[in-house]
Structure 1
Amino acid sequence: MLKGIPDLISPELLKILHEMGHGDDLVIGDCNFPAASNAKRLIRCDGHGSVDVLDAILKLFPLDEYVECPVSLMELVPGDDAVTEIQDDIKNIVCKYDDRREKAVEYVERFDFYEKARNAYAIVATTERKLYGCLIIKKGVIK
């Protein structure tokens, strides 16, 4: 055990976060996200939701200050009547850690989101059951 590391950050996830460099993307996928088929590196985070995982990661992980939107959410598919309150919860967590607040968040069309995810450094697979609980965060620098 280490001091200051949230309990849900596994040794494997900590290693991945440490390995990542400035500009690398990390996907946090919900239970429906095709994580295993798209990941270069896959970290399972079963038993945890996207919001809690994001909050734990952002305690350790700087968001990129050199891009307009270091956080990407999946845009609602036209005609889908899903409730996306989880995206508000995600934005609230981002606001805790980034002075740009909601301006740090962009929405990406579903298939563009998948393409971006395939190019990510790693994917964290959660068991988040709320629809549209997927996001991509871009790593910044430690100053």
Structure 2
Amino acid sequence: MLKNLDPLLNADILHALCAMGHGDEVVICDANFPADSVARQTVLGHVLRLDGVNAPRAIRAVLSVLPLDSFVDHPAERMEVVGDANALPAVQREAQTEVDAAEGRATPFASIERFAFYERAKQAYCVIATGEARGYGCFIFKKGVNLAPDAPSESTR
């Protein structure tokens, strides 16, 4: 067992998150999302699963190890509610709380129309399917770089 890792992060998920590079994207989706068929078109090529876990809890686990991209305006995105792009269902409000906590600051979601979200998800590095039963529990996160404050610079090595 490893220390200081969220117990939800299994070996397959940790490997995928570690293998991602700066600018790669991870999709965290609800149980209604066509995760398997979309994931087959991603870089990883197969779906990763966190069954029995809701989307906000999965986001907390993933963002405990994944830095968000600070070089883009919206490193966190959500699927829009069909017919009401400004609606924020409870699952998205809860997810926003997790993102803000992980980043230590407000990091508002940008919204993506449903079918555009599906197409964008196919370009992601990987898809993590959750057991989230509520609709619109679908999110995309862009990986950033970990600028550890205590890491030695090239000149001090």
For Structure 1 versus Structure 2, the TM-score category normalised by the shorter chain is over 0.9
Deviation at 1:99, TM superposition (A): 4.8
Q: 1:101 aligns with which of 90, 106, 111?
A: 106
Q: Output aligned runs, 1:75-90, within 5 Å.
A: 75-78=80-83, 84-90=89-95
Please say if residues 6 and 61 of structure 2, whose CA atoms lie closer than 8 Å, have aligned partners that are also in contact.
Answer: yes
Aligned twin of 1:46? 51
- Runs of 5+ in structure 2 lacking a partner? 40-44, 148-157
Query: Closer, same or farther in 2 for the Cα pair 1:69/1:79, shift >3 Å?
Result: closer
Query: Which segment drifts farther, 39-48 or 129-138?
Result: 39-48
Q: Which amino acid aligns with 2:24?
A: D
Work out the CA distance in 1 between the residues paired with 2:88 and 2:103: 25
Unpaired runs of 5+ residues, structure 1, are none
Among residues 118, 135, 142, which one is paired with 1:138 in the alignment?
142
C-alpha contact 2:67 2:146 (8 A) present in aligned 1: yes
Percentage identity across aligned positions? 40
| Counterpart among 72, 80, 83 of residue 67 in structure 1 | 72
2:17 is the alignment partner of 1:17? yes
Greater Rg by CA: 2
- With over 3 angstroms needed to count, the CA separation of the structure-2 counterparts of 1:83 and 1:95, relative to structure 1, is closer
User: Cα offset for 1:42?
Assistant: 1.4
RMSD value, Cα = 1.7
Q: Do 2:76 and 2:107's aligned partners in 1 also have CA atoms closer than 8 Å?
A: no
**TM-score normalised by L of structure 1:** 0.93
Provide the residue aligned with 1:117 in structure 2.
Answer: 121
Counterpart AA for 1:2: L
Aligned to 1:5: 5
Q: Which moved more, 1:1-10 or 1:71-80?
A: 71-80
Q: 8 Å contact 1:30–1:129 — kept in the other structure?
A: yes
Offset of residue 47 of structure 1: 1.1
Distance of 1:99 and 1:114 partners within structure 2: 29
Counterpart of 2:120 in 1: which secondary structure? helix
Match of 2:97 among 92, 96, 117: 92
Q: In structure 2, what is the Cα distance between the partners aligned to 1:25 and 1:130? A: 22
Measure how far apart 1:95 and its partner are. Answer: 0.8
Give the alignment's TM-score, normalised by structure 2.
Answer: 0.85
The number of aligned residues is 141
